[in-house]
Amino acid sequence: MRFVLHDPTLGVDGGGQRWTKDLADWLSKRGHVCRVDSSRNPGPAPPGSVWLDMSGIGDISLYPDRCIPYIWWHVPTSFKHEKAAAVSVLASSKWSEQSFRSIWKRPAKVVPLFTASEGFCGDTGVLFLGRLTLAKGVLAALRLRDALQGTGPVTIAGATWSTPPDLTRALQGSNVLANPTPTRVDNLYREHKVFWQLAGLDSGPPEAFGLAAADAFARGMIVVAYAAGAIPEWLPERFLADSERDILDKTTQALRGGICPPTEEEIAVVRPRNFAENLRRVGVYW
């Protein structure tokens, strides 16, 4: 099969853009012919190609003739053309599907994402890794780091492309690692035992899936997560917290060996093999 993955947002470093690349790689490894197009005005595609609108814009004027279109839906948005609501929609989680249903009054197909992350984790310390924004929980991470002083090292790191100027100023002097390279990110996973997933704790939308948390989970890290958005759909209950106080308590417990790391059976939920099964479950055979 031939696929075109259209994502004009690929110039930034975010979870949705990462997913576009991961999906293209997964399709290519299965023997499909893939083209990733990041242009604002994409070119034609061979007749019968699967056209994946990865940014969820729903601008059907860009869809080539005689293609098989899909829209990948992560977070609530409005389509540029209402007719796009009739296109087959794949949602990253049940939470994403509910947001789509609430806007367009029809269901989407739920296909949870995956991570191909491999490696191992450390035996001490806490890692927060995500865009340095209020919605992702960076200020909550700073508060938790202060509260944990003396318990273990805490590293706060992430991309700054969407950090507003006032937050940039607030983070100055706070010992935050900005824009780590892929090699540094890999080392950060290797150096820490606990991962903080804090999106939605202070404000903004929660995670539509949580790829960074899934990366950590796949490496055997203990992911202590605020129970919001799609995170409870794949993360076992013992890792979930319903408040900042609960996150602090579970982090302390994890650092002291009181919470068991994920099992291979639990990790399998976010592996690529499970993704293929999720596609087949909704009648998509790629």
Residue 234: closest CA among 129, 114, 59, 153: 114
Helices (H) and strands (E) in the chain, counts: 10, 12
Residue range 64-120, pLDDT digits in tens: 999 999 999 998 777 878 888 789 999 999 999 999 999 888 999 999 999 999 999
d(Cα 67, Cα 47) in Å, to the nearest integer?
6
| C-beta separation of 240 from 217 below 8 A | no
Domain ranges of the chain: 2-114+273-281, 126-267
Total-model pTM: 0.95
d(Cα 17, Cα 126) in Å, to the nearest integer?
26
d(Cα 275, Cα 263) in Å, to the nearest integer?
18
Fold topology of 126-267:
Rossmann fold (3.40.50)
| C-beta separation of 40 from 58 below 8 A | no
Note the pLDDT of residue 204.
81
Name the residue type at position 215. D
Residue range 123-143, pLDDT digits in tens: 999 999 999 999 999 999 999
d(Cα 258, Cα 59) in Å, to the nearest integer?
50
**Count of residues in the chain:** 286
